[in-house]
A and B are shown apart, each in its own frame.
Chain A
Amino acid sequence: MNKDHAPEMRMVGESVLIVEFGRQLSRDINDAVLAFDRGLQDHTVEGLLECTPTGTSIALRFDPLQVTPDRFRHIIRELVADMDLSPGSGKSIRRCWRLPVLYGGEAGPDLDFVAAQMSCSADEVVQQHQATRQRVFMVGFAPGFLYTGLLPERFHIPRLPEIKPKVPAGSVSIAIGQTVVSSTAHPTGWHTIGRTPFVNFDPGREPPVVIRAGDEIEFCVIDAREYKDRTGQTELESFEI
């Protein structure tokens, strides 16, 4: 993050401050978001209640009865100025997870459509999707629901004009150069190309959400038998990055 470009700060209501590091999603912008998120964890910030990183910004919820919005913005502005948010600066305890996916068929009904959009074969889509290590930019929309990317340019295909009312938990879907992975059944406007047996959100497990914002994912191909074997498994292979 270049210090000449101070992030933009905007309020939502009287108790959430959005600190936006850029408008266009990129790894560099996301690095700054994550570095700031990490940095905040090392500080005691007056009135701060919760930090929520997204791809390009971080939402800071604070108690406006403890610290006025003006003062809070001032504190955050100073912190941003003091921290080194350049790419790769944020020390982290991020992990890379190897997420098994059964591509195509019933698990990924839109794989052929995606292949047609990308003017290549279904095998090539799968090969390219799993060849790219993807960053988790955000957990949002629903519990444990992952937004990952960025995929190569040819994966920038638009979302569906109409929402599909329900796709099953574990669906791996793509659009606009990103992948989404669900933990619960949900409606979607994205193209579902596969399904993972791993459930990222389980309220009875500690921690309830395993893959979190800032982590990375290597998608790996499994077959139907492996999918069956790994259903219900709570362990997921990972390494520190």
Chain B
Amino acid sequence: MSAGLKVLRAGPCVSVQDRGRPGFLRDGIAEGGAIDRLALEEGRLLVGNDPGLACLEYAGYGGRFEIAGAPLCLALTGASAPLRLDDKPLQPRCSFSARPGQVIELGMPVDGNYSYLSVAGGIDVTPVLGSRSTHVRGGFGGFEGRCLRKGDLLPVGKTEQSSCGMVLHHPDRSLDAPIRILWSAQRDLFGEKELQLFANTAFVVTSEYDRMGVRLRSRAAPVCVQKGLEALSGVIVAGDIQIPGNGQPVVLLADHQPTGGYPRIATIIAADLDMFAQLPPGSEVRFEPVTEQQAVEALAQLSKRIGRLPERLQKHVADPLAPAELLSTNLISGVTTGSDNSGETQ
């Protein structure tokens, strides 16, 4: 029987995601893909996947998943979240093996919004328009074009190699650094005073967030649009910060509508966007205008960091204080090897 993950219980928004679906904006389809792309890459390295394979992304509670068909190698990355294998706690950011019949439970992320469950072989749904990412609003891609439900059986791809028992230590991502922005091409719609106000305001991330966008609020005076508030028909970019009529900003994320919307005051630089999207509700956020050159340098640094991730991958030395974890990491990985061998001879 081929390997799979059976959904025993699913949180409100667990979806299949990969690197996204670039190139279809002219047909009205935004790129989408994993909100936290660094976490996606970390997860795939921990389980030894090739680039581009799909994982599960969730916000809020994740759910309970039963391993079906064959042993699997899995890892949780992104925001830290309680992770259990048959009720035994495991550490995130470590790849571990699990046998058919075992159940993993993904709890609520504690220091961010989005967590990622990667599995060796990847979530093997059929790609749509070149990607396995779920486009929930369009109802396509991923698993039946929707978030997961109890009873779903997710196919997992075949894999020769699996690098179970690896660890990636947490990168130094600071959650309280200012988020860097470039002023928008529509900055003329705002006065210089409003731009200053925006840069000097401490905003708070609200609990109104999803893959399309995040609403912010501020205790200070709202930022006002000086000129007409009518919808503008330009192309939208992930990271764009829109100012609707009430003056409370909305930051657009991966599943943003491709065009239109409210006037945009600024765009979060690409290097900081994923970090921003991980700020939990209640976090204070300040925006720091930077130059185009600084934005490109920051992106180059991030790209270099992602490129060097494999060097930071280490064999996991289990914490002696967590014997349960030691047991599942070491013993089960032996089982995986055995099964892989027998699979090859068939």
Contact = CB atoms under 8 A, between A and B. Distances in A.
Interface in B201-260: 233-235, 237, 239-240, 257-260
Interface in B128-142: 128-129, 135, 137-141
B184 interface: yes
B233 A147 contact: yes
Contact of B299 (A12, A56, A65, A141): A65
Interface in A141-168: 141-145, 147
Contacts of A61: 22, 25
A69 B182 CA distance: 13
B28 A144 contact: yes
B143 to A, nearest CB: 14
Contact of B233 (A68, A140, A142, A143): A140
B292 A69 contact: yes
A171 B270 CA distance: 36
Contact of A68 (B23, B137, B141, B296): B296
Given A13-B267, A142-B137, A69 B237 contact: no
B259 A138 contact: yes
| Residue of A10, A18, A143 with most chain B CB atoms under a 10 A cut-off | A143
B269 interface: yes
A57 B236 CA distance: 13
A145 B24 CA distance: 13
Contact of B296 (A56, A65, A138, A212): A65
Contacts of A49: 22-23
B72 interface: no
Given A13-B182, A141-B260, A59 B234 contact: yes
Contacts of B141: 203
Contacts of A53: 26
Given A13-B239, A13-B295, A201-B27, A143 B138 contact: yes
B185 interface: yes
A91 B312 CA distance: 53
18 contacts: A12-B264, A13-B182, A13-B239, A13-B267, A13-B269, A52-B26, A52-B235, A57-B234, A59-B234, A69-B296, A139-B28, A140-B233, A140-B235, A141-B258, A143-B27, A203-B138, A203-B140, A212-B26
B303 interface: yes
B234 A54 contact: yes
Interface in A1-58: 10-16, 18, 49-57
B8 interface: no
A11 B267 CA distance: 10
Given A53-B26, A65-B299, A16 B235 contact: yes
Contact of B185 (A11, A68, A208, A209): A11
A172 interface: no
Nearest to A207: B27
B26 A14 contact: no
A144 B268 CA distance: 27
A49 B135 CA distance: 21
Contacts of A50: 22-23, 25-26
Most chain B Cβ neighbours within 10 Å, of A12, A55, A64, A147 = A12
B17 to A, nearest CB: 16
A14 B295 CA distance: 7
B322 interface: no
A193 interface: no
A68 B293 CA distance: 9
Contacts of A13: 182, 237, 239-240, 267-270, 295
Given A141-B28, A141-B258, 13 more contacts: A12-B184, A12-B235, A18-B234, A50-B25, A54-B259, A59-B235, A68-B296, A69-B296, A141-B257, A143-B29, A203-B138, A203-B140, A208-B129
A140 B260 contact: yes
B300 interface: yes
A142 B257 contact: yes
A147 B138 CA distance: 18
Nearest to B302: A65
B27 A144 contact: yes
A224 B22 CA distance: 39
B258 A64 contact: no
Interface string A200-233: 0101100011001100000000000000000000
A68 B294 CA distance: 12
Contacts of B233: 54-56, 138, 140, 147
Interface centre among A14, A143, A204 (most CB of B within 10 A): A14
Q: Which 5 A-B pairs have the closest CB atoms?
A: A140-B259, A10-B185, A59-B235, A209-B27, A203-B140
A94 B186 CA distance: 31
Contacts of A184: 137-139
B235 A142 contact: no
B171 to A, nearest CB: 20
A15 B27 contact: no
A61 B267 CA distance: 14
Interface string A53-95: 1111101010011001100000000000000000000000000
Nearest to A37: B26
B19 to A, nearest CB: 13
Contacts of A15: 237, 270
